Amino acid sequence: MQVGDTLESIAQKFLGSSTRWKDILEANPGIANPHFITPGETIRIQVRDVNAKQATIQQVFTNVISNF
């Protein structure tokens, strides 16, 4: 995560819809307050039934690879 990221913006970027922020919250029970996330914090994104653009999926793949 980066400064300015929100669960909504992350959902839009990786899942194709900002309304899927609750999916990210559900996959990360350690997030106590969804309105306060910390830059650099690692979060889990479960990709299932995603109707996102292929470019978004490629972006996720690139980010996952670059973190190893």
Listed by start position, the domains of the chain span 7-66
Q: Indicate the pTM of the whole model.
A: 0.64
Q: Which positions ≥6 away from 27 have C-beta within 8 Å? A: 43, 44, 45, 46
- Using the CB atoms, write b or e for 37-68: b if 16+ within 10 Å: beeeeebebeeeebebeeebeeebeeeeeeee
* Token pair for 10: 């992350």
Q: Is the pLDDT at 68 greater than 80, yes or no?
A: no
Average pLDDT in the chain: 75
Look at 65 and 20; give whichever has higher pLDDT.
20
Q: Is the pLDDT at 50 greater than 90, yes or no?
A: no
What is the pLDDT averaged over residues 29-35?
87
